[in-house]
Homo-oligomer: A and B are copies of this chain.
Amino acid sequence: MEIEEKKDLASSWFRNLRDQFCKEFETLDGSKFERTKWNHSGSGGGEISLMKGNVFEKVGVNISTVSGEFKEDYRSNVSGTEDSAEYWASGLSIVAHMNSPFVPAFHFNTRFIVTGKSWFGGGADMTPTYIYNDDTEDFHNSLKDACDKYDKNYYPDFKKNCAEYFFLPHRGEERGVGGIFFDHLTTDNWETDFSFVRDVGLSFFKIVPHIINKRKDDNWTVEEKNKQLLKRGRYVEFNLLWDRGTQFGIKTGGNTDAILMSMPPDARWE
């Protein structure tokens, strides 16, 4: 398959999945997303869908398809840039901060990158304020099922990546209860890789409403909400201090609104 066809298939899928998520979340919440387009400093751009609702205190869904040339000082950090600094990237990101302190925050990301090489990256993780083992198990099992269909090493490897990545060294704690995280995924069969990426997206699509529905209507106290706000403070610390994507995006002139869509609506520090 030609690379242009792969680009089309991947970016179309991200858009399609975006539409599925927005529709599902609107139904679940009873509110509506608002959409804002943005332009990339190179070519292309993206679209942020933002909903502030009843179940979702703030959920952002961003799709983007961008291209350009890496600056010389960054180029050597990226695979496949030996012969050319050109890049193309398309992806979908979701960050959901929930109203109820009993419902976890969710994060999902999936992308297809093309330089001299091409690969998929992405992941999904969950950040509860109150940890319920059944939620954690359901979330992990759902991702495991998607992984195991393709390679028995995927789940343990990607789960380990996730735990290592979403870690706050200055607090000595993980951001949440983990999930999966993968990058530079490229086997000799692009169709299979693409199928895996789609299945991860669909697993997340299925499991998130299931976990949300379990406890979204339970009553909570001011103290419980306070604990959620403090947990969100940690979320902010991770994203601004340690998240490589955020640091890279912010410091290379990326779209601020798209990058900081991940910020919670409110956060608190003691």
CA–CA, A171 to B246, complex, Å? Answer: 14
Q: Which residues of A from 213 to 270 have beta carbons under 8 Å from B? A: 229, 233, 236-237, 240-241, 246-247, 250-251, 256, 259-260, 263-269
Task: State the majority secondary structure of interface residues on A.
Answer: helix
Chain B residues with CB under 8 Å of A241's CB are 240-241, 246-247, 250
CA–CA, A233 to B247, complex, Å? Answer: 17
| Contact between chains at A268 and B268 (CB < 8 Å) | no
CA–CA, A250 to B168, complex, Å? Answer: 10
Minimum distance in angstroms from A147 CB to a CB of chain B: 32
CA–CA, A248 to B79, complex, Å? Answer: 28
A71 within 8 A of partner (CB): no
- Specify which of B259, B263, B267 is in contact with A266 (CB 8 Å cutoff): B267
- Specify which of B229, B237, B259, B265 is in contact with A260 (CB 8 Å cutoff): B237
Chain B residues with CB under 8 Å of A264's CB are 269
Minimum distance in angstroms from A236 CB to a CB of chain B: 6
Chain B residues with CB under 8 Å of A251's CB are 169
A170 within 8 A of partner (CB): yes
10 contacts between A and B (CB under 8 A): A58-B269, A229-B266, A233-B263, A236-B236, A237-B240, A237-B260, A264-B269, A265-B268, A266-B267, A267-B269
Could you list which residues of chain A lie within 8 angstroms of chain B, going by C-beta atoms? 58, 169-171, 229, 233, 236-237, 240-241, 246-247, 250-251, 256, 259-260, 263-269
Given A58-B269, A240-B240, 11 other A-B contacts at CB below 8 A? A170-B250, A229-B266, A233-B263, A236-B240, A236-B267, A241-B241, A241-B247, A264-B269, A265-B269, A266-B266, A267-B267
